[in-house]
């Protein structure tokens, strides 16, 4: 977990920590404060660190080149910024270093040599630990609200302590990356940090955590429009970072009436995300509010009801196709898609309309449903939708 650098720097009580370059990167996330006296600290970093360099090992013959190389190494290690200890080994920070950090929006600070480094690291690291504990508590409480909704003692009071009130409204987003370019759990962890940073920058009340390979975002809001705009911004931002064959799958549940219904929004969001990954369903929207009939079907949590309906309505036709090696189901699907038009279906299948009529009549006989009537079409269309959702 990490904290925003701008907020972190404010926790330093002294006045000799000065930002020299990279102001545009000041909203980046800091995972820890790392003090280094080594010539190549970048090789020891894991990402997100704010690095304090004493420059003990500086190359006195070519200090500018040495410093730029160090800054480049630290930046490529995905550190959040650098503090250079000015004085004993580094009389002043060369302009070339300032220009380098400004070019890449990489925060660069100067710190006077007389300052005890413990006076810097202690308050900053303490704040990071406190924020990590806070995030951990909130995340665990929301996990309990999602997976153990009946155990209100596990989430109502803990969340209230951090101003997520029982009467507030919440919407849950779930995300996953298809065909990830790196190890799924590692990528999920990196995305969580990025999403947190994005939401904090937009000053949104939210919690972000992982559940297996799935990323869960809980948004606190009174407005469905705000949830939509926040989610759209988040999805757009994440899609820009996808590479190769990676795909973003996402679902957004309905805005709840209270904290006790968070689990419902999660189930909706997770079902939508899972449905997106199904090649059988062409789902173009990830918001539960916009799903129409799919939203209604997702609301049926008893899977036996849906399976029984498909078996009862569509089962005879599926069995016939399986035994005969035919595709009457496909013909019926296309017929319904074309609003019951024999001519349009024939044109799409490149066959004579009499052949389509024969196939639809045969399907009607097998199903014992009149596909020329509105009621018959609705029954079969619904069965096809449920069948595709479970495919």
CATH number of 132-298: 3.30.70.120, 3.20.20.140, 3.30.70.141, 3.40.50.1980? 3.30.70.120
Kindly give the confidence (pLDDT) of every residue in the chain, 391 residues in length, as a single tens digit, with 9 standing for 90 and above: 788 899 999 999 988 999 999 999 998 889 999 998 888 888 889 889 999 999 999 999 999 999 999 999 999 999 999 999 999 999 999 999 999 999 999 999 999 999 999 999 999 999 999 999 999 999 999 999 999 999 999 999 999 999 999 999 999 999 988 877 666 556 677 788 889 888 887 767 899 999 877 899 999 999 999 999 999 999 999 888 888 788 899 999 999 999 999 999 999 999 888 888 775 566 668 899 888 888 888 878 778 888 999 999 999 999 999 999 999 999 999 999 999 999 999 999 999 999 999 999 999 999 999 999 999 999 999 999 888 877 6
- The per-residue pLDDT for 274 is 83
- Give the homologous superfamily in CATH for domain 3-115: HprK N-terminal domain-like (3.40.1390.20)
* Torsion sign, CA atoms 335, 341, 345, 348: negative
- The CA distances from residue 197 to 237, 272, 284, 379, 385, in Å, are 12, 25, 27, 47, 38
* Fold held by 303-390: Arc Repressor Mutant, subunit A (1.10.10)
Q: For the chain, give every domain's residue range.
A: 3-115, 132-298, 303-390
CB 14 within 8 A of CB 120: yes
Predicted TM-score (pTM) of the model is 0.78
**CB-based contacts of 391: which residues, under 8 Å, 6+ apart?**
278, 280, 281
CB 328 within 8 A of CB 314: no
């Amino acid at each position: 977990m990490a904290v925003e650098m701008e907020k972190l720097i404010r926790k330093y009580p002294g006045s000799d920590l000065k930002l020299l370059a990279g102001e545009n990167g000041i909203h980046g996330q800091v995972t820890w404060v790392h003090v280094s006296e080594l010539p190549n600290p970048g090789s020891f970093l894991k990402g997100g660190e704010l690095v304090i360099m004493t420059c003990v090992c500086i190359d006195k013959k070519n200090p500018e080149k040495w410093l730029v190389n160090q800054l480049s190494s630290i930046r490529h290690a995905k550190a959040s910024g650098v503090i250079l200890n000015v004085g004993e080994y580094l009389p002043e920070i060369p302009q070339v270093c300032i220009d380098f950090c400004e070019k890449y929006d990489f925060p660069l600070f100067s710190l006077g040599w007389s300052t005890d480094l413990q006076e810097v690291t202690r308050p900053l690291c303490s704040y990071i630990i406190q924020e990590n504990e806070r995030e951990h508590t909130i995340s665990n409480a929301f996990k309990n609200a999602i997976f153990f909704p009946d155990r209100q003692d596990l989430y109502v009071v803990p969340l209230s302590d951090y101003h997520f009130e029982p009467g507030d409204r919440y919407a849950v987003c779930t995300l996953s990356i298809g065909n990830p370019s790196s190890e799924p759990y590692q990528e999920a962890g990196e995305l969580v940090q990025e999403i947190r940073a994005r939401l904090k920058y937009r000053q949104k009340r939210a919690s972000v955590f992982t559940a297996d390979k799935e990323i869960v975002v809980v948004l606190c809001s009174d407005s469905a429009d705000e949830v939509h705009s926040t989610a759209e911004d988040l999805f757009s931002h994440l899609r820009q970072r996808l590479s190769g064959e990676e795909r973003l799958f996402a679902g957004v549940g309905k805005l709840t009436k209270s904290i006790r219904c968070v689990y419902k929004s999660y189930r909706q969001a997770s079902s939508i995300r899972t449905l997106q990954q199904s090649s059988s369903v062409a789902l173009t929207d990830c918001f539960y509010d916009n799903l129409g009939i799919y939203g209604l079907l997702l609301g049926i949590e008893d899977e036996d009801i849906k399976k029984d309906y498909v078996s009862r309505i569509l089962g005879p036709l599926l069995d016939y196709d399986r035994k005969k090696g035919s595709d009457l189901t496909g013909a019926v699907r296309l017929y319904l898609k074309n609003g019951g038009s024999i001519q349009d279906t024939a044109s799409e299948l490149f066959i004579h309309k009499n052949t389509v009529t024969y196939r639809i009549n045969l399907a009607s006989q097998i199903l014992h449903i009149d596909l020329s009537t509105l009621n018959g079409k609705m029954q079969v269309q619904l069965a096809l939708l449920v069948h595709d959702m479970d495919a």
